[in-house]
Structure 1
Amino acid sequence: MASVQAILNGDVGPNGSTEAARVAEFGVKALAVLRKHISVDVHTHGGPQGIYSPAAPNGTLAAGMRAGSLAAVCLSEIPDEPLLGRNAAGVTGITRSPKPGELYRHHLERLAWVDEMVTHHGLQRALTAADLASAHAAGQPSLVGGVEGLDFMEGKLERLEEAHQRGIRSAQLVHYTPNDIGDFQMGVVTHEGLTELGVEVIRECHRLGMIIDVAHATEQTAKAAARVSTKPLLLSHTALAGSRAMASTRLVARCVSADHARAIAETGGAVGIWAIFPDLEKYVEGLKEMADIIGVDHVCVGTDQQVAPGALQDYAQWVNLIAAMLRGGFTPEEAGKIAGGNYMRIFRAAMG
């Protein structure tokens, strides 16, 4: 798909063609949305050369964000990454148990990777919602630090504060490795929801000003977190169970029921839709499927970028996603909420 910018510049399509004019019209509207609203991918690993890869820190992420007018990403490191593999069906899971201290050390290594990105490769670290607003006003792409699973804690609550001091602002409770916080989708249920430590973790996140992300958590765990939390929850990357628009059924067990999604929305939070769709038009259908259940005020974009097949592997296409939302029937105000406004509400509430 040609970029909206290319068509606006007259580089694509026959002059005066109806289709070129239509794409240009929605491109102009999309760029206006992105100027007005801070847009955020609420869950990403930064693409093929990102944090979930052996690549050294580089400028690819910032360049793509600039090209697509994406203001910010929540860049999530994965403490249990060394344990992960895929089975014959292509489904991710752990291949072995962690060695003592292994996941904590990997967590620290990835934090250092992010430090290098921020220092030398064109991204500004956002520690507060005000940081995101000032970076957006200056046209500077920024990142919010995230961690996908709290396995690095190894039961030590004080490591949450240490992570916060290192720039982490979004804490996903569980991933693929069994821990003593709660149960995760695609895993064996051992806790019947959230543990006492899980309750302590939520309270500590509230104290520190960190977003609580319940992606990967079982419905029982997520609903328990919703009962405990006094601030909006984020479920950063999933799709509605039974989605007709999704490209692959490989991760169907990671989708969420309508009741699961409603529990998150009722906290004032939001559910992020991943980009596992064949194209942007189908992705917009996926957004609509969730919005029809919980409303546009509770839906956001969490691409899980680098997971294939995916409709948004290149952030230069971000503006095209907004244009697709507008073509698909979302108003500019609704598109602005989904693209980042709903996340900003959650981020501000976490700080309060």
Structure 2
Amino acid sequence: MRAGSLAAVCLSEIPDEPLLGRNSAGVVCITRSPRPGELYEHHLERLAWADDMVTHHGLRRALRAADLESAHAAGQPSVIGGVEGLDFIEGKLERLEEAHQRGIRSAQLVHYTPNDIGDFQTGVVTHDGLTEFGAEVIRDCHRLGILVDVAHATEQTAKAAAKVSTKPLLLSHTALAGSQAMASTRLAARCVAPDHARAIAETGGAVGIWAIFENLDKYVEGLKEMVDVIGVDHVCVGTDQQVVPGVLQDYSQWVNLIAAMLRGGFTSQEAGKIAGGNYMRIFRTAVE
């Protein structure tokens, strides 16, 4: 992070990680059903791992917008605690409050494991969108000060979340469906249609473009594709770090991305919005 002049990243744990594998097409999927309490236990283990990162590796934890501002001013790497999928709460909203107390400030509703919140893009549709419990989860996130992330959610789920939400939503990592710039179609099911993206932008939120492009110039093209749909004020970077193929395998490469954005025609103001300003705006609104 220091080598890449990067002040803050979202460090997301994956509660359903023990269940994940790849199918014959190389696409991530669940390989078995979770045992009762298994994902909650794994979630607690990863929270402890994040605590260790903060305690022993020179990181700060960002709990509010002011923490991000001070991290930037001091050049001190900081992490925003995130969780990719709320499968661990198992219908118990008190676990969401516990996660907030442990430093979680960004919560993705669904991932690869069926839950009682809503449908996800690569799974079987069972809820026809967001459930009433899912709506309760969103309202509780707003109450607690947790940014709601609708990455992996189906278009129907995301649009329902947008109707329930009274704060900006984040769709942290995706690309525009039919992207001409993306290197691989392997994750086409995880891309979003224009109307899907617009629903997020209309909440005042932002859509993060992941780094699944063959080079940085193509990545900039991918950013432009989404900007053309929802505007520069609603696009951000969502690397989904170390996904293969991907052009940002290490945070030290971040400065090269900024250079590519400027080279590709973005102004310095536009690059600043995409590289952090837009996220900062919705983070501030969501957590405070």
TM bucket normalised to smaller: over 0.9
Q: Deviations over 1:267-308 (max 9, x none)?
A: 000000000000100000000000000000000000001210
Aligned residues of 2:5 and 2:252 also touching (Cα < 8 A)? yes
Cα displacement (A) at 1:351:
2.3
Letter in 2 for 1:254: R
- Tell whether 2:243 aligns with 1:284: no
- Tell whether 2:84 aligns with 1:148: yes
Identity of aligned residues (%): 86
TM-score (norm 2): 0.99
Q: Pairwise mapping of residues 90-239 of structure 1 onto structure 2 (< 5 A)? A: 90-239=26-175
- What is the CA–CA distance in structure 2 between the aligned matches of 1:180 and 1:139, rounded to whole Å? 41
Alignment match, 2:180? 244
Q: Deviations over 1:206-229 (max 9, x none)?
A: 000000000000000000000000
Alignment match, 1:321? 257
Cα displacement (A) at 1:232:
0.2
- What is the CA–CA distance in structure 1 between the aligned matches of 2:252 and 2:101, rounded to whole Å? 31
Alignment match, 2:238? 302
SS of equivalent residue, structure 2 residue 106: strand
Letter in 2 for 1:76: S
- What is the CA–CA distance in structure 1 between the aligned matches of 2:250 and 2:95, rounded to whole Å? 34
Letter in 2 for 1:115: D
Q: Deviations over 1:89-145 (max 9, x none)?
A: 110000000000000000000000000000011211000010010111111010000
- What is the CA–CA distance in structure 2 between the aligned matches of 1:337 and 1:220, rounded to whole Å? 28
- What is the CA–CA distance in structure 1 between the aligned matches of 2:161 and 2:263, rounded to whole Å? 36
SS of equivalent residue, structure 1 residue 110: helix
Alignment match, 1:48? none
SS of equivalent residue, structure 2 residue 240: coil
Aligned residues of 2:242 and 2:250 also touching (Cα < 8 A)? no
SS of equivalent residue, structure 1 residue 312: coil
Alignment match, 1:351? 287
Please provide the CA RMSD for this pair: 0.5
Letter in 1 for 2:222: G
Structure 1 unaligned spans of 5+: 1-64
SS of equivalent residue, structure 1 residue 75: strand
Q: Deviations over 1:300-320 (max 9, x none)?
A: 000001210001001111011
Q: Deviations over 1:52-95 (max 9, x none)?
A: xxxxxxxxxxxxx1001011100110000000000111100000
SS of equivalent residue, structure 1 residue 319: helix
Cα displacement (A) at 1:346:
0.5
How many residue pairs match? The answer is 288
Letter in 2 for 1:178: P
- What is the CA–CA distance in structure 1 between the aligned matches of 2:279 and 2:4, rounded to whole Å? 19
SS of equivalent residue, structure 1 residue 170: strand
- What is the CA–CA distance in structure 2 between the aligned matches of 1:260 and 1:206, rounded to whole Å? 22
Letter in 2 for 1:78: I
| Highest RCO, 1 vs 2 (Cα 8 Å, sep ≥ 6) | 1
Runs of 4+ in structure 1 deviating by more than 2 angstroms, as ranges, are none
Determine which structure has more spread, i.e. the larger CA radius of gyration. Answer: 1
